[in-house]
Amino acid sequence: MSSASVLQNHFSSSDCRSQKIPVEHLDYDYIDKCKDAKYLERILLLLRSGKEGIYPHLIEFCASRLEKLNPRSRALRKENPVTTSSSLPADEWSKIVDELRIWQDETKATETSLQKQLMFEDVVDRNMPPIRGSNCSVPLSGNSARKQKCIKPRDYRDWDKFDVEKECQKIDGDVIQNDQPSIPNVHPTTKVDSPLMTAEVRHILAEREKDKGNEAFRANDYEEAVAYYSRSIDIMPTVAAYNNRAQTGIKLKQWQRAMNDCNSVLELEPCNVKALLRRAAVHNELGNFQMAVEDLTIVLREEPQNAPAIQLLSETTKKVTEVRQEKERKGRKIIIQEVEEEDFEETKLEQTDCPVEPSQTVGGDGCSAAPAERGDMGNAQKRPHGKGDGAPHNESSHSHHGHWRSRGGSSDKYKVPQESKEKAANGTVKRGSTVLPQTDRAGSRKESPPATNVGQPVNLDAPCGALPLSLSRLKNEGNLLFKNGQFGDALEKYSQAIQGYGDAGIDSPDDLCILYSNRAACYLKDGNSQDCIQDCTRALELQPFSLKPLLRRAMAYESLERYRKAYVDYKTVLQIDVGVQAAHDSVNRITRMLMEQDGVDWREKLPEIPVVPLEAQQHRREEPPSAEVLQARAEKAAKDAERRAENRFGNLKQDGNEFVKKGQYQDAVAKYSECLKIKPEECAIYTNRALCYLKLERFGEAKQDCDAALKLEPSNKKAFYRRALANKGLKDYLACSTDLQEVLQQDPNVQEAENELQEVTILLKQSLVSESPAKSRKVVPITEVDDDQETSAVANSDNCFREELSSKFQPSNAYEFGQALNNACSSGNMAACADMLASTAPELLPQFVSTQLNGKTISFIVKVLDSHLLEKDPNLVYKHLSHLHTADRFSVALMLLEKDERRHVNQLFERLSSAESTEFTKHDVQNLANKYI
């Protein structure tokens, strides 16, 4: 049953029975005068029912009357027939049939493909987990199912003989005998055989296992959830499964597993907010507060309103503050861990640290490696200083900028690659090798034979740069001792080499710089930061802006809590190579300490940071991007900026429209102003802002916006109408009348403009009456004359009118000037117009013609100036033209000139340029002509 029939039954069964409608009310007059929509609904339904007769015209009249009172009345609803093939066009119906057939074929094909995948059902049946929480299983088939026996009816005497306890024992015995052994609730396996499955089946099965894991997670059975998530990942790795398993690992406090899952997610999706948030939580639990803050910063950059991230960031910041306060209470001691054997590749010596082979030189220029192949001696031990706190010799402060990776160590860029160690035939010796000098029980030191590695001896006599053989051997022995952790013995070897260098009288600053740098590393390892600083300074005097001496001296300064000098050296390191992560971390750490120590002016208390020359900056050696790459980057940046500006413009415009609907016009003005900063040539924004200014009664600003809109779109109807309202607010009724007439000329059906024009006309007349004094009217006698006399009388009257207009008329306001100008234009009286222009001051002309300015007026004035005034007074013509183009709407009216009218303008300026005058030149006329042509 349709809604119309239901409504019919509802009204007929309830209203019509409760209140009977008189026959007198079923009349045209009564229905026309009735204003009760509910009662008209009952009348309409009664007429439609046919109980009082069939009156089609009366029904239609009643429906139209009801529609005026209540257009949404339910009684006006009409029953729509069901759409069938006959009611639709043949092509539309065939399209529907084809789509249904395609859908049916695709469904059958999908069902067939799923049925062919027997492996899918086997895997599900084989790995189906037991029901969670069940301790026994009751088979539903076989002889174990009890057969229901029909119980015969008994009388009361049989019930008296019934032994309840005996029957209960029987039941208990049957249950004990028939109970099957309980099946333990074992978690499902995490491996699924999926290579033979299609991608579609794997996706379905992975989603199913993930949903099982979600169900187990909601039931707080996290171990089972991990099993299901692992099965899902084994079938098809997805971001959601890794994320869910990471959250489960956090619940189980399995931090490393959760960390690995978060990293897997970030490999698939680098900016995944959930993975970053969960990894930050793991870092927070493991005490890596700085890394947690970095992850949370990225999360809040993507989602500034993420409440969990904000809360976790506040907690982490609080913990960082507590740790810092604890360090301050303990004296701000810096703990620098000693590198063990497994981290040995981070503590290689510079240049001479490459593996020693029989055919390879040790140290010097022959073995100098690139920065990526060199080792590092970055870690220092915090031990009691051996030589007090004396000032370093010749401290040179060099600086640089960059990032960090490990505490106290340098960048991975300066580690010796693992493959280089494997290539070494005899260069690496583990701790305890017999090649090193060892001490026996009696304390006497003896020189052991060189150690062997892969059956080959170490060549300690390999040459090192320009050093003599004896000094090269001392340097190689020092390198081996340092690698084995015997820093004191290595320091002695380097000292002997340095002393022998001075006695030998050779000149090789590079080799001497390496010796000082290596001995500084030994001092740093032994905790003697003061001597380390002295040796690093000597090395930098020999080789300015050398990376490793700077880095080691910075670490020594930091261990002595000389943070300003350490900051300068770290910044110098970063100028040389921006990829040194250790320097980045140290700069960040020292910056916080200096801010706490020196306040906001901490930068002013720093020593001067030297500027590293370009030839010493390693990161500057990279080739600049090509012109094509730069152009592509610029185009991409421009497109991105344009897209962002377009989106911002649309959002601001929508916000402004919403504020207008709510009546918040001041806020709307702010939004529209922002829009104009993005797109200053959008006409609709000017008209919208003008509307807001009108509502705020800021009429001058509204008029400016309308003028700007009309410059962009000269025929904009809204701009004319709203400028008319602004002029009305400014009490410029003549301009208001002109704009309203323009609106009605474009669209005569604008009722609002017509009403405003009537009102403004009345106001204009009142203002003119109040401004102009009352003038006495001249009585003109009317006499009857013959035709010839009438013709001569008309000619005489025209001559009198011209004489009166030329001799006596001097307009005092724009209204009088406009009336006279209209009379002269309509009659073609150019002489009278010339006399009127001659008696009008040129500076008043724009004000007088502003209300009558159009293409026809400009053309008539140009003709008058050309034909009547140019020969008599060219200076006056030039002045009139200089002021005429400043009138309101002049540029709009100038665009409406016809081809012949433009020709008259060109002719006027050509004649004016050839006229002789002392007040203007030909160049002045050409500049003025640009305003008109």
* 568 contacts 603 by C-beta, under 8 angstroms: no
Q: Please name which of 289, 359, 295, 297 lies closest in space to residue 320, comparing C-alpha atoms.
A: 289
pTM of this prediction?
0.27
Q: What is the pLDDT of residues 153-170, one digit of tens each?
A: 666 777 777 777 777 777
Identify the H or E element spanning 452.
strand 452-453
Q: Please name which of 117, 116, 124 lies closest in space to residue 192, comparing C-alpha atoms.
A: 124
β-strand pairing of 445-446 with 438-439: antiparallel
pLDDT at residue 390 greater than cutoff 50: no
Confidence (pLDDT) at 870: 86
pLDDT at residue 553 greater than cutoff 50: yes
The pLDDT-based confidence of 19 (bands split at 50, 70, 90) is: low
Q: What is the pLDDT of residues 124-156, one digit of tens each?
A: 545 555 545 444 444 444 444 444 445 566 667
Q: Match 């026309």 to its residue by tokens.
A: 32
Q: Which residues, 6+ apart, have CB-to-CB distance to 93 below 8 Å? A: 85
pLDDT, greater one: 543 or 888:
543
pLDDT at residue 334 greater than cutoff 70: no
- Specify the range with the lowest mean pLDDT, choosing from 6-15, 447-456, 579-588: 447-456
Confidence (pLDDT) at 569: 92
Confidence (pLDDT) at 778: 44
> What's the rounded Cα separation, in Å, for the pair 41 and 8?
10
β-strand pairing of 456-457 with 445-446: unpaired
Count of H helices and E strands in the chain? 39, 4
Q: What's the mean per-residue pLDDT of the chain? A: 75
pLDDT at residue 924 greater than cutoff 80: yes
Retrieve residue 168's tokens: 């209960």
The pLDDT-based confidence of 555 (bands split at 50, 70, 90) is: very high
Chain centroid to CA 63: how far? 56
Secondary structure of residue 352 in the 3-state scheme: coil
pLDDT, greater one: 182 or 883:
883
> What's the rounded Cα separation, in Å, for the pair 535 and 544?
13
- Specify the range with the lowest mean pLDDT, choosing from 99-103, 154-158, 894-898: 154-158
Confidence (pLDDT) at 389: 37
Q: What is the pLDDT of residues 518-527, one digit of tens each?
A: 999 999 998 8
**What's the mean pLDDT in 490-512?**
87
Q: Match 């009336």 to its residue by tokens.
A: 819
Confidence (pLDDT) at 760: 86
Query: Count of residues for the chain?
Result: 933
**What's the mean pLDDT in 91-110?**
90
CA atoms within 13 A on the CB side of 615: 1
Q: What is the pLDDT of residues 294-319, one digit of tens each?
A: 888 898 888 888 888 888 888 888 88
Q: What is the pLDDT of residues 170-208, one digit of tens each?
A: 776 654 444 444 444 445 555 555 566 778 888 888 899
- Specify the range with the lowest mean pLDDT, choosing from 275-279, 469-473, 680-684, 804-808: 804-808
pLDDT at residue 333 greater than cutoff 60: no
Identify the H or E element spanning 126.
helix 118-126
> What's the rounded Cα separation, in Å, for the pair 582 and 110?
58
pLDDT, greater one: 701 or 420:
701
Retrieve residue 1's tokens: 């049953």
Q: What is the pLDDT of residues 345-369, one digit of tens each?
A: 333 334 333 333 333 333 333 333 3
Q: What is the pLDDT of residues 241-282, one digit of tens each?
A: 999 999 999 999 898 889 999 999 988 888 898 999 999 999
pLDDT at residue 397 greater than cutoff 70: no
* 516 contacts 542 by C-beta, under 8 angstroms: yes
* 933 contacts 905 by C-beta, under 8 angstroms: yes
Confidence (pLDDT) at 344: 31
pLDDT at residue 764 greater than cutoff 90: no
pLDDT at residue 414 greater than cutoff 70: no
